[in-house]
Amino acid sequence: MGATPFSFYEFFAGGGMARLGLGARWACAFANDFDPVKAATYRANFPDAESHFREGDVWKLGPVDLPGRADLAWASSPCQDFSLAGARAGLEGGRSSAFFGFWKLIRELGGEGRAPSLVVIENVVGLLTSRGGADFAALGRALAAEGYVFGALEIDAAHLLPQSRPRVFVVASKVPPPARLVGDGPFHTRAVRTAQAALPPELAASWVWWRLPAPPARNTDLAALLEPDAAVAWHAPHQTERLLSLMAPAHRAKLSAQRGRAVGAVFRRTRIEEGRRVQRAEVRFDGLAGCLRTPRGGSSRQAIVVVEDGAVRSRLLAAREAARLMGLPESYRLPPAATAALHVAGDGVAVPVVRWLAQELLEPLLAPAAAMAAE
Protein backbone atom coordinates (compact mmCIF):
# COMPACT_ATOMS: atom_id res chain seq x y z
CA MET A 1 0.00 0.00 0.00
CA GLY A 2 2.90 2.35 0.65
CA ALA A 3 1.91 5.84 1.74
CA THR A 4 -1.14 6.02 -0.53
CA PRO A 5 -4.15 6.81 1.63
CA PHE A 6 -7.60 5.39 1.25
CA SER A 7 -10.24 7.92 0.23
CA PHE A 8 -13.67 8.62 1.66
CA TYR A 9 -16.76 10.78 1.53
CA GLU A 10 -18.20 11.83 4.91
CA PHE A 11 -21.91 12.63 4.99
CA PHE A 12 -23.60 14.25 8.01
CA ALA A 13 -20.03 15.03 8.98
CA GLY A 14 -20.73 17.17 12.03
CA GLY A 15 -17.43 18.26 13.51
CA GLY A 16 -15.49 15.67 11.51
CA MET A 17 -15.21 12.96 14.15
CA ALA A 18 -15.38 10.09 11.67
CA ARG A 19 -12.55 11.76 9.76
CA LEU A 20 -10.46 11.99 12.91
CA GLY A 21 -11.15 8.35 13.69
CA LEU A 22 -10.26 7.13 10.22
CA GLY A 23 -6.91 8.85 10.64
CA ALA A 24 -3.90 9.73 8.50
CA ARG A 25 -4.18 6.79 6.09
CA TRP A 26 -7.48 8.17 4.82
CA ALA A 27 -7.93 11.20 2.55
CA CYS A 28 -11.24 13.06 2.70
CA ALA A 29 -12.45 13.72 -0.83
CA PHE A 30 -15.78 15.27 0.19
CA ALA A 31 -17.68 16.16 3.36
CA ASN A 32 -21.13 17.61 3.95
CA ASP A 33 -23.33 18.83 6.79
CA PHE A 34 -26.46 20.96 6.97
CA ASP A 35 -25.95 22.43 10.47
CA PRO A 36 -24.17 25.84 10.45
CA VAL A 37 -22.56 25.35 13.88
CA LYS A 38 -21.20 21.93 12.97
CA ALA A 39 -20.03 23.24 9.60
CA ALA A 40 -18.16 26.09 11.29
CA THR A 41 -16.59 23.61 13.71
CA TYR A 42 -15.48 21.38 10.85
CA ARG A 43 -13.85 24.32 9.09
CA ALA A 44 -12.15 25.43 12.29
CA ASN A 45 -10.50 22.03 12.71
CA PHE A 46 -9.57 21.10 9.15
CA PRO A 47 -7.57 23.72 7.23
CA ASP A 48 -8.30 21.95 3.92
CA ALA A 49 -12.08 22.20 4.41
CA GLU A 50 -12.54 24.83 1.72
CA SER A 51 -11.40 22.34 -0.90
CA HIS A 52 -13.94 19.64 -0.11
CA PHE A 53 -16.54 20.66 2.51
CA ARG A 54 -20.05 21.61 1.37
CA GLU A 55 -22.48 23.14 3.85
CA GLY A 56 -26.11 22.57 2.98
CA ASP A 57 -28.91 20.15 2.24
CA VAL A 58 -27.72 16.75 1.04
CA TRP A 59 -30.71 16.70 -1.32
CA LYS A 60 -29.17 19.59 -3.27
CA LEU A 61 -26.03 17.60 -4.07
CA GLY A 62 -25.47 15.61 -7.22
CA PRO A 63 -22.81 13.18 -8.43
CA VAL A 64 -20.98 16.07 -10.07
CA ASP A 65 -20.25 17.43 -6.57
CA LEU A 66 -18.45 14.24 -5.55
CA PRO A 67 -14.96 13.91 -7.04
CA GLY A 68 -13.50 10.66 -8.29
CA ARG A 69 -14.40 7.31 -6.77
CA ALA A 70 -13.99 6.99 -3.02
CA ASP A 71 -13.17 3.77 -1.23
CA LEU A 72 -15.68 4.53 1.52
CA ALA A 73 -18.85 6.53 2.09
CA TRP A 74 -19.47 7.18 5.80
CA ALA A 75 -22.93 8.30 6.92
CA SER A 76 -23.79 9.15 10.53
CA SER A 77 -27.31 10.12 9.52
CA PRO A 78 -29.66 11.87 11.96
CA CYS A 79 -31.28 9.20 14.11
CA GLN A 80 -34.64 11.00 14.13
CA ASP A 81 -34.66 10.82 10.33
CA PHE A 82 -34.17 7.10 10.05
CA SER A 83 -37.55 5.65 9.23
CA LEU A 84 -37.01 3.59 6.13
CA ALA A 85 -40.03 1.33 6.25
CA GLY A 86 -42.40 4.23 6.74
CA ALA A 87 -41.14 6.09 3.69
CA ARG A 88 -40.31 3.59 0.99
CA ALA A 89 -40.81 6.24 -1.66
CA GLY A 90 -37.54 7.68 -0.40
CA LEU A 91 -35.72 4.59 -1.66
CA GLU A 92 -37.04 5.55 -5.08
CA GLY A 93 -35.81 9.10 -4.75
CA GLY A 94 -38.44 10.84 -2.62
CA ARG A 95 -37.63 13.59 -0.12
CA SER A 96 -38.42 11.51 2.94
CA SER A 97 -35.38 12.28 5.08
CA ALA A 98 -31.74 13.26 4.98
CA PHE A 99 -30.75 9.60 4.73
CA PHE A 100 -32.60 9.20 1.45
CA GLY A 101 -30.74 12.18 0.02
CA PHE A 102 -27.50 10.40 0.84
CA TRP A 103 -28.68 7.10 -0.61
CA LYS A 104 -29.88 8.78 -3.79
CA LEU A 105 -26.30 9.98 -4.32
CA ILE A 106 -24.87 6.50 -3.77
CA ARG A 107 -27.28 5.07 -6.33
CA GLU A 108 -26.39 7.78 -8.83
CA LEU A 109 -22.69 7.17 -8.29
CA GLY A 110 -23.35 3.50 -8.94
CA GLY A 111 -24.98 4.41 -12.23
CA GLU A 112 -21.74 6.13 -13.22
CA GLY A 113 -19.58 3.21 -12.09
CA ARG A 114 -18.30 5.25 -9.14
CA ALA A 115 -20.05 3.63 -6.18
CA PRO A 116 -17.79 3.40 -3.10
CA SER A 117 -16.44 -0.04 -2.34
CA LEU A 118 -17.60 0.31 1.27
CA VAL A 119 -20.49 2.08 2.97
CA VAL A 120 -20.73 2.52 6.74
CA ILE A 121 -23.99 3.70 8.26
CA GLU A 122 -23.75 4.63 11.96
CA ASN A 123 -26.90 5.13 13.99
CA VAL A 124 -28.63 4.45 17.28
CA VAL A 125 -29.23 0.81 18.20
CA GLY A 126 -32.97 1.36 17.76
CA LEU A 127 -32.37 1.12 14.01
CA LEU A 128 -32.24 -2.66 14.47
CA THR A 129 -35.69 -2.90 16.05
CA SER A 130 -37.74 0.07 14.85
CA ARG A 131 -41.07 -0.84 13.28
CA GLY A 132 -40.57 -4.44 14.31
CA GLY A 133 -37.40 -4.74 12.23
CA ALA A 134 -39.01 -3.44 9.03
CA ASP A 135 -36.74 -0.38 8.91
CA PHE A 136 -33.62 -2.50 9.12
CA ALA A 137 -34.91 -4.88 6.46
CA ALA A 138 -35.65 -1.93 4.17
CA LEU A 139 -32.10 -0.66 4.68
CA GLY A 140 -30.72 -4.11 3.86
CA ARG A 141 -32.89 -4.24 0.76
CA ALA A 142 -31.50 -0.89 -0.41
CA LEU A 143 -27.92 -2.05 0.13
CA ALA A 144 -28.41 -5.41 -1.57
CA ALA A 145 -30.11 -3.79 -4.57
CA GLU A 146 -26.89 -1.86 -5.22
CA GLY A 147 -24.73 -4.98 -5.04
CA TYR A 148 -23.50 -4.71 -1.45
CA VAL A 149 -23.22 -7.47 1.10
CA PHE A 150 -23.80 -6.14 4.59
CA GLY A 151 -23.71 -6.87 8.29
CA ALA A 152 -24.17 -4.97 11.53
CA LEU A 153 -22.06 -4.51 14.65
CA GLU A 154 -23.27 -3.05 17.93
CA ILE A 155 -20.31 -1.30 19.55
CA ASP A 156 -20.43 0.50 22.88
CA ALA A 157 -17.86 3.29 23.15
CA ALA A 158 -17.32 2.09 26.73
CA HIS A 159 -14.92 -0.49 25.29
CA LEU A 160 -12.56 2.38 24.49
CA LEU A 161 -13.77 5.46 26.40
CA PRO A 162 -15.39 6.09 29.80
CA GLN A 163 -18.78 6.76 28.21
CA SER A 164 -21.67 4.34 27.80
CA ARG A 165 -22.58 4.94 24.14
CA PRO A 166 -23.89 1.91 22.23
CA ARG A 167 -24.25 2.47 18.50
CA VAL A 168 -24.93 0.24 15.51
CA PHE A 169 -22.53 0.24 12.56
CA VAL A 170 -23.88 -1.25 9.36
CA VAL A 171 -20.90 -2.13 7.17
CA ALA A 172 -21.70 -2.79 3.50
CA SER A 173 -19.12 -3.99 0.99
CA LYS A 174 -18.80 -4.55 -2.74
CA VAL A 175 -15.46 -6.21 -1.98
CA PRO A 176 -15.76 -9.98 -1.43
CA PRO A 177 -14.94 -10.44 2.25
CA PRO A 178 -11.94 -12.71 2.97
CA ALA A 179 -12.57 -15.58 5.35
CA ARG A 180 -10.45 -14.06 8.12
CA LEU A 181 -12.83 -11.10 8.37
CA VAL A 182 -15.94 -13.25 8.70
CA GLY A 183 -17.08 -15.11 11.81
CA ASP A 184 -18.39 -14.70 15.30
CA GLY A 185 -17.34 -11.75 17.43
CA PRO A 186 -18.12 -9.75 20.57
CA PHE A 187 -20.20 -7.13 18.73
CA HIS A 188 -22.88 -9.53 17.49
CA THR A 189 -25.24 -8.64 20.31
CA ARG A 190 -28.69 -10.06 20.89
CA ALA A 191 -30.19 -7.09 19.02
CA VAL A 192 -27.95 -7.73 16.00
CA ARG A 193 -28.74 -11.45 15.99
CA THR A 194 -32.47 -10.79 16.29
CA ALA A 195 -32.39 -8.29 13.43
CA GLN A 196 -30.49 -10.74 11.22
CA ALA A 197 -32.83 -13.61 12.05
CA ALA A 198 -35.83 -11.49 11.01
CA LEU A 199 -34.48 -10.76 7.52
CA PRO A 200 -36.31 -12.43 4.64
CA PRO A 201 -34.31 -15.20 2.92
CA GLU A 202 -33.30 -13.08 -0.07
CA LEU A 203 -31.71 -10.50 2.24
CA ALA A 204 -30.20 -13.07 4.58
CA ALA A 205 -28.23 -14.27 1.55
CA SER A 206 -26.49 -10.87 1.45
CA TRP A 207 -25.66 -10.88 5.16
CA VAL A 208 -22.07 -11.06 6.47
CA TRP A 209 -21.09 -11.74 10.07
CA TRP A 210 -18.19 -9.29 10.23
CA ARG A 211 -15.46 -10.47 12.57
CA LEU A 212 -14.28 -7.52 14.64
CA PRO A 213 -12.17 -8.40 17.70
CA ALA A 214 -12.66 -6.68 21.02
CA PRO A 215 -10.12 -3.93 21.71
CA PRO A 216 -7.72 -4.10 24.68
CA ALA A 217 -9.34 -3.35 28.03
CA ARG A 218 -9.98 0.32 28.65
CA ASN A 219 -7.52 1.77 31.19
CA THR A 220 -9.13 5.10 32.08
CA ASP A 221 -12.30 6.19 33.85
CA LEU A 222 -14.55 9.24 34.04
CA ALA A 223 -12.62 10.90 36.87
CA ALA A 224 -9.42 10.88 34.81
CA LEU A 225 -11.01 13.02 32.08
CA LEU A 226 -12.48 15.73 34.30
CA GLU A 227 -11.15 19.23 34.78
CA PRO A 228 -9.50 20.06 38.14
CA ASP A 229 -12.04 20.98 40.81
CA ALA A 230 -10.78 24.57 40.98
CA ALA A 231 -11.19 25.08 37.21
CA VAL A 232 -14.94 24.51 36.99
CA ALA A 233 -18.09 26.18 38.34
CA TRP A 234 -19.92 24.15 40.98
CA HIS A 235 -23.59 24.29 41.84
CA ALA A 236 -24.69 26.29 44.84
CA PRO A 237 -25.69 24.07 47.78
CA HIS A 238 -29.40 24.54 47.11
CA GLN A 239 -28.93 23.42 43.50
CA THR A 240 -27.17 20.26 44.62
CA GLU A 241 -29.91 19.61 47.16
CA ARG A 242 -32.52 20.02 44.43
CA LEU A 243 -30.69 17.45 42.29
CA LEU A 244 -30.47 15.01 45.19
CA SER A 245 -34.18 15.46 45.90
CA LEU A 246 -34.94 14.02 42.48
CA MET A 247 -33.20 10.75 43.33
CA ALA A 248 -35.16 7.66 44.21
CA PRO A 249 -34.12 5.91 47.44
CA ALA A 250 -31.90 3.41 45.60
CA HIS A 251 -29.86 6.21 44.07
CA ARG A 252 -29.61 8.11 47.36
CA ALA A 253 -28.29 4.88 48.82
CA LYS A 254 -25.56 4.79 46.15
CA LEU A 255 -24.39 8.21 47.34
CA SER A 256 -24.37 7.15 50.97
CA ALA A 257 -22.36 4.03 50.16
CA GLN A 258 -19.38 5.93 48.71
CA ARG A 259 -16.19 6.18 50.75
CA GLY A 260 -13.25 8.53 50.31
CA ARG A 261 -13.55 10.51 47.08
CA ALA A 262 -15.99 9.17 44.50
CA VAL A 263 -16.98 10.68 41.15
CA GLY A 264 -20.32 9.90 39.59
CA ALA A 265 -22.37 10.91 36.54
CA VAL A 266 -26.00 11.99 36.83
CA PHE A 267 -28.77 12.12 34.25
CA ARG A 268 -32.28 13.42 34.74
CA ARG A 269 -34.93 11.18 33.22
CA THR A 270 -38.70 10.91 33.22
CA ARG A 271 -39.96 7.68 34.78
CA ILE A 272 -43.47 6.30 35.18
CA GLU A 273 -44.15 5.58 38.83
CA GLU A 274 -47.58 4.46 40.03
CA GLY A 275 -49.04 5.68 36.75
CA ARG A 276 -47.48 9.15 37.01
CA ARG A 277 -44.64 10.75 35.07
CA VAL A 278 -41.92 11.63 37.57
CA GLN A 279 -38.62 13.35 36.91
CA ARG A 280 -35.76 11.42 38.46
CA ALA A 281 -32.04 11.99 38.80
CA GLU A 282 -30.09 8.77 38.38
CA VAL A 283 -26.45 8.43 39.41
CA ARG A 284 -23.78 5.91 38.42
CA PHE A 285 -20.39 5.28 40.06
CA ASP A 286 -19.04 2.68 37.65
CA GLY A 287 -16.39 4.95 36.14
CA LEU A 288 -18.52 5.72 33.09
CA ALA A 289 -20.44 8.77 31.97
CA GLY A 290 -23.91 8.21 30.59
CA CYS A 291 -24.43 8.57 26.86
CA LEU A 292 -23.82 12.16 25.81
CA ARG A 293 -26.84 13.86 24.29
CA THR A 294 -27.43 17.11 22.49
CA PRO A 295 -28.40 19.79 25.05
CA ARG A 296 -31.91 20.65 23.93
CA GLY A 297 -33.03 21.18 27.50
CA GLY A 298 -31.65 21.26 31.01
CA SER A 299 -32.58 17.65 31.68
CA SER A 300 -30.50 16.41 28.74
CA ARG A 301 -27.23 17.89 30.03
CA GLN A 302 -25.25 15.46 32.14
CA ALA A 303 -24.13 16.40 35.65
CA ILE A 304 -21.16 15.36 37.75
CA VAL A 305 -21.35 14.60 41.45
CA VAL A 306 -18.36 14.30 43.76
CA VAL A 307 -18.77 12.64 47.14
CA GLU A 308 -15.90 13.34 49.49
CA ASP A 309 -15.85 12.57 53.20
CA GLY A 310 -19.66 12.49 53.23
CA ALA A 311 -20.09 15.87 51.51
CA VAL A 312 -21.72 16.02 48.07
CA ARG A 313 -21.00 18.60 45.39
CA SER A 314 -22.48 18.77 41.90
CA ARG A 315 -21.99 20.63 38.64
CA LEU A 316 -22.71 20.37 34.95
CA LEU A 317 -20.40 18.48 32.63
CA ALA A 318 -18.09 20.94 30.87
CA ALA A 319 -17.81 21.09 27.09
CA ARG A 320 -14.13 20.12 27.04
CA GLU A 321 -14.94 17.12 29.24
CA ALA A 322 -17.62 16.06 26.76
CA ALA A 323 -15.07 16.33 23.97
CA ARG A 324 -12.69 14.05 25.87
CA LEU A 325 -15.50 11.56 26.37
CA MET A 326 -15.84 11.42 22.58
CA GLY A 327 -12.10 10.83 22.17
CA LEU A 328 -11.37 14.27 20.73
CA PRO A 329 -7.83 15.62 21.22
CA GLU A 330 -7.14 18.65 23.41
CA SER A 331 -6.24 20.57 20.24
CA TYR A 332 -9.77 20.14 18.86
CA ARG A 333 -11.41 23.54 18.52
CA LEU A 334 -14.88 23.61 20.06
CA PRO A 335 -17.48 26.34 19.50
CA PRO A 336 -17.06 29.07 22.15
CA ALA A 337 -20.62 28.71 23.48
CA ALA A 338 -21.03 25.72 25.81
CA THR A 339 -24.42 24.71 24.37
CA ALA A 340 -23.04 24.69 20.83
CA ALA A 341 -19.94 22.75 21.89
CA LEU A 342 -22.04 20.15 23.70
CA HIS A 343 -24.28 19.87 20.65
CA VAL A 344 -21.31 19.11 18.39
CA ALA A 345 -19.94 16.53 20.83
CA GLY A 346 -23.27 14.90 21.69
CA ASP A 347 -24.22 14.42 18.05
CA GLY A 348 -20.88 12.93 17.02
CA VAL A 349 -19.38 9.49 16.68
CA ALA A 350 -16.77 8.32 19.19
CA VAL A 351 -13.37 8.78 17.55
CA PRO A 352 -11.60 5.66 18.94
CA VAL A 353 -14.50 3.45 17.87
CA VAL A 354 -14.09 4.62 14.27
CA ARG A 355 -10.33 4.02 14.49
CA TRP A 356 -10.82 0.47 15.78
CA LEU A 357 -13.38 -0.31 13.08
CA ALA A 358 -11.09 1.11 10.37
CA GLN A 359 -7.99 -0.67 11.65
CA GLU A 360 -9.54 -4.08 12.18
CA LEU A 361 -12.11 -4.27 9.38
CA LEU A 362 -12.30 -1.45 6.83
CA GLU A 363 -8.59 -1.23 6.00
CA PRO A 364 -8.11 -5.03 5.78
CA LEU A 365 -11.11 -5.21 3.44
CA LEU A 366 -9.61 -2.63 1.11
CA ALA A 367 -5.96 -3.66 1.45
CA PRO A 368 -5.77 -6.17 -1.44
CA ALA A 369 -7.20 -3.72 -3.96
CA ALA A 370 -4.96 -0.93 -2.66
CA ALA A 371 -1.90 -3.17 -2.98
CA MET A 372 -2.77 -4.02 -6.58
CA ALA A 373 -3.27 -0.34 -7.42
CA ALA A 374 0.15 0.50 -5.98
CA GLU A 375 1.96 -2.07 -8.15
pTM of this prediction exceeds 0.85:
yes
Indicate if 234 and 152 belong to the same structural domain: no
Q: What pLDDT does 89 receive?
A: 39
Of the residues 295, 317, 339, the one at which a domain ends: 317
Indicate if 242 and 205 belong to the same structural domain: no
Q: What pLDDT does 21 receive?
A: 98
Give CA–CA dist 322/343, Å, rounded. Answer: 10
Q: 337 in a domain, yes or no?
A: no
Indicate if 211 and 111 belong to the same structural domain: yes
Give CA–CA dist 112/108, Å, rounded. Answer: 7
Q: What share of the chain is helix, strand, coil (3-state, %, to 5)?
A: 40, 20, 35
Q: 328 in a domain, yes or no?
A: no
Indicate if 137 and 192 belong to the same structural domain: yes
Q: What pLDDT does 279 receive?
A: 87
Indicate if 200 and 251 belong to the same structural domain: no
Indicate if 49 and 142 belong to the same structural domain: yes
**Active site positions, annotated:** 79
Give CA–CA dist 24/125, Å, rounded. Answer: 29
Q: What pLDDT does 81 receive?
A: 52
Q: What pLDDT does 48 receive?
A: 95
User: Residues of 341-353 as b/e, b for ≥16 C-beta within 10 angstroms?
Assistant: bbbbbbbbbbbbb
User: How would you write the pLDDT of the chain (375 residues) with one tens digit per residue?
Assistant: 345 589 999 999 999 999 999 999 999 999 999 999 999 999 999 999 999 999 999 999 999 999 999 999 999 977 655 444 444 433 333 444 778 889 999 999 999 999 999 999 999 898 898 888 888 998 999 999 999 999 999 999 999 999 999 999 999 999 999 999 999 999 999 999 999 999 999 999 999 999 999 999 999 999 999 999 999 999 999 999 999 999 999 999 999 999 899 999 999 888 888 888 888 999 999 999 999 987 665 456 899 999 998 899 999 999 999 999 999 999 999 999 999 999 999 999 999 999 999 999 999 999 876 554 554
Q: 146 in a domain, yes or no?
A: yes
Of the residues 270, 295, 317, the one at which a domain ends: 317
The boundaries of the domain holding residue 121 are 6-216+347-374
Q: What pLDDT does 99 receive?
A: 83
Q: What pLDDT does 336 receive?
A: 96
Q: 194 in a domain, yes or no?
A: yes
Indicate if 11 and 94 belong to the same structural domain: yes
Q: What pLDDT does 226 receive?
A: 98
Q: 323 in a domain, yes or no?
A: no
Strand arrangement of the beta sheet that strand 6-11 belongs to: 53-55, 26-33, 6-11, 72-75, 118-123, 166-173, 149-156
Indicate if 161 and 264 belong to the same structural domain: no
Tally of domains in the chain: 2
CATH number of the domain enclosing 165: 3.40.50.150
Give CA–CA dist 48/55, Å, rounded. Answer: 14
Q: 285 in a domain, yes or no?
A: yes
Residue type, position 345, single letter: A
DSSP 178: P
Chain centroid to Cα 245, Å, comes to: 33
